[in-house]
């Protein structure tokens, strides 16, 4: 992927120097454990669309110090800044007068978001309550080592573009509609979550279409993104965990579905291509 090295985006909040400690036991521990487990399996915080994460009642401590970084991580900060600005400029053109930028928060280990306290193990996530995406840059190594995704810059860009896809859903009111539908039909909660996540994949592909039109992509970039999408499919993760595949428990979609919807957005290049709720 051809990208321009430079400074940090004005929409990046760098909290890597902030350490949040937690003591005591929260009354919402059971819910948090479930959230953490599901998010660990998928690499995404799928319950962000349902509302705030369970609040912890244990005392927290916050320490702020200098940001310790490496040349490799400094370059990664520049990379996510480029992807963030490029993707949001694309959405501003696709949704003129409606789109407003999300913030991207960089953190390490633990972060306080508008949706509650989140752990790195939960993977990147988007919080609609503060309109911010959160990522521990160490996730990109996890994407390779834990999920088996191989690929370069564009595979990493796909992850961030997916979270910005949730921001687009929030702006369009889709997340609110889904929450309402889940409240009315609890039996469809997982199915609707899958539809929501697949649409974010499609929106990521839509941005990918824009990069192709502007000759930013290089040979093999699309395959990298498809490989990353496939690596975090629910069925593939369930197999890796040593259990059988249980489609009724899917929250993000199968590898085939994730690849399919990213490709639809990439090939279609318009929002209409991403109707995961009405399409098949």
Tell me the residue range of the domain where 163 lies: 12-274
Please, which residues bridge with residue 20 across strands?
62
pLDDT of residue 143: 66
Q: In 3-state terms, what secondary structure has residue 23?
A: coil
The secondary element (H helix, E strand) that includes residue 93 is: helix 71-94
Q: How far apart are CA 225 and CA 232, in angstroms?
A: 11
User: Please, what are the averages of pLDDT over each run of 10 residues along the chain (280 residues)?
Assistant: 88 91 43 40 43 45 78 92 97 97 94 89 89 90 61 83 96 94 89 90 95 91 78 52 54 79 94 85
Tokens for 228? Answer: 């990353």
**Residue 119 belongs to a domain:** yes
pLDDT of residue 9: 95
Tokens for 131? Answer: 């309109």
Give the dihedral sign, CA 210/213/216/220.
Answer: positive
DSSP 7: S
Q: Kind of pairing, strands 18-22 and 60-64? A: antiparallel
Q: How many domains does the chain have?
A: 1
pLDDT of residue 140: 78
**Residue 171 belongs to a domain:** yes
pLDDT of residue 234: 54
**Residue 73 belongs to a domain:** yes
**Residue 280 belongs to a domain:** no
Confirm if 145 and 160 have CB atoms less than 8 A apart.
no
Task: Give backbone dihedrals phi and psi of 163, rounded to 5 degrees, phi first.
Answer: -65, -35
Q: In 3-state terms, what secondary structure has residue 61?
A: strand
Tokens for 184? Answer: 């009315």
Please, which residues bridge with residue 13 across strands?
105
Q: In 3-state terms, what secondary structure has residue 131?
A: coil
Q: How far apart are CA 11 and CA 181, in angstroms?
A: 32
pLDDT of residue 41: 41
**Residue 1 belongs to a domain:** no
Region for residue 30 given its phi and psi (left: phi exceeds 0; alpha: psi -120 to 50; beta: otherwise) = alpha
**Residue 4 belongs to a domain:** no
- How many helices and strands (H and E) does the chain possess? 9, 8
What distances in angstroms separate CA 30 from CA 26, 34, 116, 121, 188, one per listed residue? 9, 6, 15, 16, 22
Outline where DSSP puts E strands in the chain. Answer: 12-14, 18-22, 60-64, 103-106, 110-113, 116-119, 125-127, 132-135
**Residue 265 belongs to a domain:** yes
Tokens for 25? Answer: 């036991």
Residue 10 burial by CB count (10 A; 0-12/13-18/19+): exposed, middle or buried?
exposed
């Amino acid at each position: 992927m051809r990208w321009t090295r430079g400074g940090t985006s004005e929409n990046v909040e760098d909290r890597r120097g902030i350490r949040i400690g937690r003591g005591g036991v929260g009354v919402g521990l059971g819910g948090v454990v479930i959230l953490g487990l599901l998010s660990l399996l998928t690499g995404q915080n799928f319950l962000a669309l349902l509302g705030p994460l369970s609040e912890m009642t244990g005392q927290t401590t916050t320490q702020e110090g200098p940001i310790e970084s490496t040349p490799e991580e400094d370059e990664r900060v520049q990379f996510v800044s480029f992807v963030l600005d490029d993707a949001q400029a694309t959405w501003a053109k696709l949704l003129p007068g409606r789109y407003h930028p999300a913030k991207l928060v960089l953190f390490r280990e633990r972060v306080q978001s508008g949706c509650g306290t989140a752990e790195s193990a939960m993977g990147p996530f988007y919080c609609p309550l503060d309109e911010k995406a959160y990522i521990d840059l160490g996730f990109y190594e996890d994407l390779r080592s834990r999920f088996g995704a191989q690929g370069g810059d564009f595979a990493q860009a796909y992850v961030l573009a997916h979270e910005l896809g949730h921001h687009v859903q929030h702006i369009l009111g889709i997340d609110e509609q889904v929450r309402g539908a889940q409240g009315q039909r609890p039996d469809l909660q997982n199915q609707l979550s899958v539809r929501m996540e697949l649409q974010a994949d499609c929106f990521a592909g839509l941005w990918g279409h824009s990069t192709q039109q502007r000759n930013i992509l290089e040979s093999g970039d699309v395959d990298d993104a498809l490989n990353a999408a496939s690596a975090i499919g629910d069925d593939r993760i369930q197999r890796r965990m040593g259990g059988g595949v249980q489609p009724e428990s899917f929250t993000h979609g199968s590898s085939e579905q994730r690849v399919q919807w990213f490709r639809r957005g990439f090939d279609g290049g318009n929002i209409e291509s991403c109707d995961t709720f009405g399409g098949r």
